[in-house]
């Protein structure tokens, strides 16, 4: 999910892999699809749970980008298909109160970032194509 504010910045979360807690990284809002849920419904639910921003799934339209990625987390390897939706959110307060317990233990913060800010980050972020994608979208 790519929530974009009035100035063209994307909302990212910062967290860590419990297997490597000293190596924080930035990532987009999102998560797994629940049974019977559409991709857009999942994106809207994850946005509400992880950022406290309510969105109508129908307002998301079609995904703006797709990737398949392999990564490790907490000692397990994953292969994941990801669909990215974009939503212009204007100026919205962010609340991480809806996160589940696992997320609350591993997500340490959030930040709205421009493409240039992403490119100057000291910590890794994902997806690595995000600065170019953000420039294309805004």
Q: Is the Cα torsion angle 41, 48, 118, 89 positive or negative in sign?
A: positive
Residue 41: band (very low, low, confident or very high) from pLDDT cuts 50, 70, 90: very high
How many domains, in total, are found in the chain? 1
- How sure is the predictor about 91, in pLDDT bands with cuts at 50, 70 and 90? confident
pLDDT of 70 above 90? yes
φ, ψ for residue 27, nearest 5 deg: -150, 160
Q: 91 is in which domain, residue-wise?
A: 2-137
What mean pLDDT do residues 54-63 have?
A: 95
Q: Which of 51, 50, 35 is nearest to 103 (CA)?
A: 50
- State what percent of residues in the chain have pLDDT above 70: 100
Q: Using 50, 70 and 90 to split pLDDT, how confident is the model at 106?
A: very high
Kind and range of the H or E run holding 49: helix 39-51
Q: The whole model's pTM is what?
A: 0.94
How does pLDDT run across 20-37, given as a tens digit for each residue? 999 999 999 999 999 999
Per-residue pLDDT for 82 more than 90? yes
* Residue 124 belongs to domain with CATH number: 3.90.79.10
């Amino acid at each position: 999910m790519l929530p974009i504010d009035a100035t063209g910045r994307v909302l990212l979360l910062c967290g860590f892999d419990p297997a490597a807690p000293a190596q924080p990284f930035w990532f987009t809002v999102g998560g797994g699809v629940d049974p019977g849920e559409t991709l857009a419904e999942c994106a809207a639910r994850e946005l509400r749970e992880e950022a406290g921003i309510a969105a109508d799934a129908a307002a998301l339209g079609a995904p703006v980008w797709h990737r398949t990625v392999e990564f490790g987390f907490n000692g397990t390897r994953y292969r994941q298909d990801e669909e990215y939706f974009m939503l212009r959110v204007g100026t919205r307060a962010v609340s991480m109160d809806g996160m589940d317990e696992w997320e609350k233990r591993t997500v340490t913060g959030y930040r709205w970032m421009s493409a240039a800010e992403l490119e100057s980050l000291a910590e890794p972020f994902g997806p690595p194509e995000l600065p170019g994608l953000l420039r294309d979208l805004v």
